[in-house]
Amino acid sequence: MAATPESRPQLVVRPAHENDAAAMREIFNEGVQDHLIPFEDHPRSVETQRELIAAAVADTWHPILVAELRGWVLGWIALTPYDRRPLLGDMAEVLVCVRRSFRNYGVGQQLMNAIQDEAAKLLYRKLVGRLLAENRDSLRLCLSCGWREVGKHIAHDIAFGERRDVVVVEYLIPQKEKSTLEPPEEKIA
């Protein structure tokens, strides 16, 4: 019997939970090993990943989503605070990580579409990303999802003892109505 689109396994994008920590750490560490993640040059521990997931669960303003196929996490995406200043609280930075063997198969695009939808529901006005200039696949992903290249920071990233350029991208979220949701206040110690 031939497989139909309805019977084929479907990629599911859902909120991350604690059980995803090991897979998410593995995917993040692949990106670090491949020199694809700006400002990172050390592997992440499972405990650190669990802490990040717990923080996202507690702070619904900054969710983490995972892409899963048949119970296997293929990638993840997170909204993180862009800046501590209150007037920039309706902006977030995006980090997307895709398992090495599933890069360029549409996983990143589905994650990006899902986080853009989630950001719109949360009434964000803008998403921002920072990509290594040599990471053309990530730039192509952003551009295909409606982002635009804003500029370049020269010799901005010094991970792995190299000075690498960082491209800044942004996505303006279409606003259907005026935002009445206030971003959470940052607690300054």
Is residue 31 a part of any domain in this protein?
A: yes
Q: Which residues contact 161 (CB under 8 A, 6 or more apart)?
A: none
Is residue 1 a part of any domain in this protein?
A: no
User: With contact defined as beta carbons under 8 Å apart, do 96 and 130 qualify?
Assistant: no
Is residue 16 a part of any domain in this protein?
A: yes
Transcribe 10-78 into DSSP letters.
--EEEE--GGGHHHHHHHHHHHHHTT-STT--SPPPHHHHHHHHHHHHH-TTS-EEEEEETTEEEEEEE
Is residue 47 a part of any domain in this protein?
A: yes
Is residue 2 a part of any domain in this protein?
A: no
How far lies 110's CA from each of 19, 144, 177, 180, in Å?
A: 21, 11, 25, 28
**pLDDT tens string 91-119:** 999 999 999 999 989 999 999 999 999 99
**pLDDT tens string 34-65:** 999 999 889 999 999 999 999 999 999 999 99
185 DSSP assignment: P
CA 48 centroid distance within chain: 17
Averaged pLDDT for residues 119-142: 95
Instruction: Supply the pTM of this predicted model.
Output: 0.86
Identity at 171, one-letter amino acid code: Y
40: domain CATH number is 3.40.630.30
Is residue 25 a part of any domain in this protein?
A: yes
Which structural domain, as residue segments, surrounds residue 122? 12-172
Nearest residue to 28 via CA among 45, 15, 12: 45
How far lies 9's CA from each of 2, 5, 21, 28, 171, in Å?
A: 13, 8, 23, 24, 30
Is residue 167 a part of any domain in this protein?
A: yes
- Look at the chain and report how many structural domains it folds into: 1
Is residue 29 a part of any domain in this protein?
A: yes
